[in-house]
Structure 1
Amino acid sequence: MKIAIFTDTFLPDVNGVAKTLGRLTKYLDQTQHSYIVISPKQTRKEISAGQIYRQSSFPFPLYKDCRISLPNTIHLKELIKQFQPDIIHVATPFSIGLAGLHFAKKYNIPIVGSYHTDFDQYLKYYHLTLLSKALWRYMEWFHQPLQRIFVPSTVTRQQLEQKDFNHLQVWQRGVDTSVFHPNYSSEIIRHKYNIKERFILSYVGRLAPEKNVDLLPTIAERLPTELQDQIHWLVVGDGPSKIHLENEWQKNVTYTGFLDQKEVANVVAASDLFVFPSETETFGNVVLEALAAGTPAVTANEGGVTNIVQDSFTGKICDGNQADTFIDAIQSILRNDDWRLQLEQNAIRYAHKQRWEDRFEELLYSYEFVLEESKSKQKHA
C-alpha cells in the first residue's frame, strides 16, 4: 500500500498528533508499506528528508506552538503524480490538510482523515467562543468528503454524531510499554529533584489554559494541611501558563520543564498519582502512559480520558472543573495503601493490553476496506 499523510504537525513537535503519526510511520517502515509525509518546516534550516516533505510555515499568532503552512502546490502536484498514492490520510483540517483534500479530489484518490483535537473546546479558554459556529461550519465542510473519519474515543464519536458527521470510526491509541512501565527507580527521581515528602503527584502535558492547569494550584492549596506536607508535586512540560503557575504556586512543587520520553516515564512511574484536570482531550495519551507505568490517574469527567480511566478501578474520575472532587479523590487514594496498590495493578494490566501494533493493524485494515469500497463504487459508476 502507498499512503500519503498530510499533517500540520509532525515530529519533532511534542503533542499527541505528532507522536502518533511518528509511531505510525515507524510501523509502516517495519511492515514495508510505502508512505510520504507532507508536514510543516519547523526551522529555516530544516529540509525535507527521506519520505518527509517539509513545507514553509510560520507560527499561528493566537497559538505560537501551532504553525500555519504555505504548501508548495506545484512541488506537491509533481510529488503526488510521481508517488501515486493508493490513499491519502489528512490528519489535520488546516493548510496542509486542505492541500491533501485538494489533491484527493483532483486525482480521484480515496481519502480518509483523523480527528485529533477538539478545537471548539479550546475556544472558550481563549475567549473566542463567538467563532464556534463558524468553526463547526468549516469542520463539517472539510470532513464531509472523507470516506472515513478516525476518532480516538467513543466520546468524540458521539460528539461528532450530534453534529451530523458521517463515516465515523473509533481508532484508539496505544502505549509503548518498552518505555512506559513500572520498573523504574523512584530513588533516581527523589534524588534528582530533592524530594523528601512521602508522596509524589505528577502532571505531564502542555502548560496552557485549554489543559485546565490553573486548577492544579487550587487543588494543592486546598488539600488538608497535614496531607499537603506529605506531597511533592512534579509538573512536567512547558507552555504559556508556566510563568503564571510558577508565580502562584511555589510550595512543595517542582517545574521540570520539557523532559524526553524516558525521563517522563521515570517521573510518572515514581509518582503515587497522576493528576490530569484537562477537559479538552479527544483521547489523552499521557493518561494511558501513566497507567502503563503503574500510576493511577485522577482525571476530569470530560473527553476521551473517560474511555481510558475506569472509575475506582484504575483511578478516579472527577467532576470537571470542581477542585473539591479532585481533593476528595486524592485524599481517598493516598490514605488507603491497599486500595492504591490494587489501582496500580489494575492500571498496569489494562494499559499493557493497549498495544500500538494492534492499533496500527486496525488502521491498515480500514485503509484496505476503504480501497475496496472505492473500487466497488467505480465498477458500478
Structure 2
Amino acid sequence: MRVALCSDTYHPIADGVSRHLVDFKAELERRGHKVRVYTVFSTNDGVFGLPSYRFPLYKEYRVGIPVYELYRDMQRFQPDIVHIHTPFVLGTMGYRFARKRGIPTVGTYHTDFVNMNGTLNFPFIKSLLNIGFQYNMHLYSKLDAVITPSKSTEKFLYSYLGKTVTIPVGIDLSKFRFNENKEDFYLFLGRLTRDKGIVEFLKVSSMLKGRKFKIAGTGPMRPLVEKWVERNENVEYLGYISEEEKIDLLSRAKLLVVPSRAETFGVVYVEAMASGTPVLGSQESREIGILQDGFNGWFVKFGDEESIARKIEEIDKLDMKGIIRNAYASSREYSIERTADELEVLYGELIESKGKG
C-alpha cells in the first residue's frame, strides 16, 4: 500500500502524536509499504513540509501555510489511502485531495480540545477551543472511518460521529529500557500546560521538600517552572530533552507523575511502563484503560495537589518490585506492531470498499 499521513505535528515536535507517527511510519515501511508524511516544516526523509510560521499562542508548534505544491507532491506519490491525524491545515488539505480522486480517508482523534482550556492563558480560549472541536467534528464526519485511541474517547465521540473504531496508539516498545532499580526522584514529562497538571506537580514539590523532582518538557508555562526551580532546590528543570535522554530518564525515575485531564490515550504512560516505571495519573484518565489503580499505577483527582502529595507518601512505603513488573507487562499491549496489524486490516477494507464503489 501507499499511505499518506497528514499531521500538523511531527518530529522534532515532542508530543505523543509525533512520536507515534515516527514509529508508525517506520513500522509500515518495514512491512514493505510506501509511506509519505505531510506536515509543517520538516527536514526528515520521506516527509513533505509545508512552509509554516510559529503559532503565536504556543511557540513550540507551527502553523502550515497552504501551498499548491502539496497537492502536486501527493499527486506524484499516488496514495492508496489518506490518514489524517490533525484536523487543521494538513488534515483539510489531505481530505480535499483524497475526496476529488475517490481515495479512502481515515482520521484518528488525538486531541482533547474540550479539556484544554487551561493550556493557554488567552482571552476567549474556551471559545477558540470549541471552534477547533466543532471543526474537527465537521471534517471527521466526512471521512470513511474515524479511529479513537481508547474506549472512553469512542464513548465521548459517539453522539457527534456515531460509530468509530478503537485502535490504541502504539509505540516502538523496543526503544525503552526496563529497569527495576529505580533512583529516588519523581518525574513530570510532557507539555508544560495547566491541563497536564504541571502546576500541581510544582506545588507538591514544595510540600515534600525532602524528595527530589525532575521536570522535562516545554510549553507556555515554562517561565513559571523556571522561577519555581530558582526558589526550590529539590526541583530540577531539564527543558527540552532528546529521545535518548527521555529513554534514560524514564528508566531511572521512581514514578512518572502526570495528573492530566486532557488525554485521549496517554503515550507517555506506555513509554514509562515499558521502562518499568509506574504512573500516577488523574481520575479523569481512568477510563482510557491503560492504568489500573494499585496494579501498574495510581489515580488522583485532577487539580488536587494534597491528594498527590499523600499518594506519593503512601507509594514511598511500598515494595515496588511487583508494580514495576506489572507496569512493564501492561505496556506490551500497546506495541506499534499491534497498531499496524489493525490499521493494515482497516486500510485494506476501505481500499477494497472504494474500489467496489
How does the TM-score come out when normalised to structure 2?
0.92
- Aligned equivalent of 2:293: 311
Q: Does structure 2 retain, via aligned residues, the 8 Å contact 1:287–1:305?
A: no
Q: Does structure 1 retain, via aligned residues, the 8 Å contact 2:113–2:130?
A: no
Q: Which amino acid aligns with 2:77?
A: F
Aligned-partner Cα distance in 2 for 1:133–1:350:
34
Distance 1:57 1:184, change over 3 A: farther
Q: Does structure 1 retain, via aligned residues, the 8 Å contact 2:261–2:284?
A: yes
SS at match of 2:116: helix
- Aligned equivalent of 2:59: 64
- Aligned equivalent of 1:25: 25
Aligned-partner Cα distance in 2 for 1:8–1:350:
30
Aligned-partner Cα distance in 1 for 2:330–2:63:
38
2:92 to 98, 105, 113: 98
- Aligned equivalent of 2:205: 220
Question: Does residue 1:37 correspond to 2:37, yes or no?
Answer: yes
Aligned-partner Cα distance in 1 for 2:70–2:348:
24
Q: Does structure 2 retain, via aligned residues, the 8 Å contact 1:77–1:103?
A: yes
1:362 to 316, 333, 342: 342
After the TM superposition, which residues 208-247 of structure 1 pair with which residues of structure 2 at under 5 Å, given as runs? 208-223=193-208, 228-229=209-210, 231-247=211-227
Aligned-partner Cα distance in 1 for 2:151–2:246:
27
- Aligned equivalent of 2:161: 165
Q: Deviations over 1:272-297 (max 9, x none)?
A: 21111211111111111111111111
Structure 1: tracts of 5 or more residues without a match: 191-198
Q: Tell me by how many angstroms 1:304 deviates.
A: 7.1
Structure 2: tracts of 5 or more residues without a match: none
Q: Which amino acid aligns with 1:257?
A: G
- Aligned equivalent of 1:154: 151
Q: Which amino acid aligns with 1:361?
A: D
Q: Tell me by how many angstroms 1:133 deviates.
A: 4.2
Aligned-partner Cα distance in 2 for 1:236–1:125:
17
The total of aligned residue pairs comes to 352
Q: Which amino acid aligns with 2:41?
A: K
After the TM superposition, which residues 78-89 of structure 1 pair with which residues of structure 2 at under 5 Å, given as runs? 78-89=72-83
After the TM superposition, which residues 95-174 of structure 1 pair with which residues of structure 2 at under 5 Å, given as runs? 95-126=89-120, 128-162=125-159, 164-174=160-170
Q: Tell me by how many angstroms 1:265 deviates.
A: 2.0
Q: Does structure 2 retain, via aligned residues, the 8 Å contact 1:206–1:237?
A: yes
RMSD, aligned α-carbons: 2.1
1:347 to 298, 311, 327: 327
Q: Which amino acid aligns with 1:108?
A: G
Aligned-partner Cα distance in 2 for 1:147–1:129:
29
Q: Which amino acid aligns with 1:204?
A: L
How does the TM-score come out when normalised to structure 1?
0.86
- Aligned equivalent of 1:281: 263
Aligned-partner Cα distance in 2 for 1:176–1:35:
17
After TM superposition, the runs of 4+ consecutive aligned structure 1 residues lying more than 4 A away are: none
Structure index of larger Rg: 1
Q: Does structure 1 retain, via aligned residues, the 8 Å contact 2:180–2:276?
A: no
- Could you tell me the percent identity over the aligned residues? 28
Distance 1:86 1:276, change over 3 A: same
Q: Tell me by how many angstroms 1:176 deviates.
A: 3.1
Q: Tell me by how many angstroms 1:82 deviates.
A: 2.8
Q: Which amino acid aligns with 1:216?
A: F
Question: Does residue 1:375 correspond to 2:355, yes or no?
Answer: yes
Higher relative contact order (CA 8 A, sep 6+): 2
Q: Does structure 2 retain, via aligned residues, the 8 Å contact 1:283–1:305?
A: no
Aligned-partner Cα distance in 2 for 1:212–1:152:
21
Q: Tell me by how many angstroms 1:371 deviates.
A: 1.5
Distance 1:342 1:184, change over 3 A: closer
Aligned-partner Cα distance in 1 for 2:73–2:207:
57
Q: Does structure 2 retain, via aligned residues, the 8 Å contact 1:40–1:69?
A: yes
SS at match of 1:282: coil
Q: Deviations over 1:326-361 (max 9, x none)?
A: 122211111122xx2221111111113432111111
Distance 1:294 1:258, change over 3 A: same
Q: Tell me by how many angstroms 1:135 deviates.
A: 3.2
Q: Tell me by how many angstroms 1:184 deviates.
A: 8.3
SS at match of 1:317: strand
Distance 1:81 1:130, change over 3 A: closer
- Aligned equivalent of 2:173: 177
Q: Does structure 2 retain, via aligned residues, the 8 Å contact 1:123–1:131?
A: no
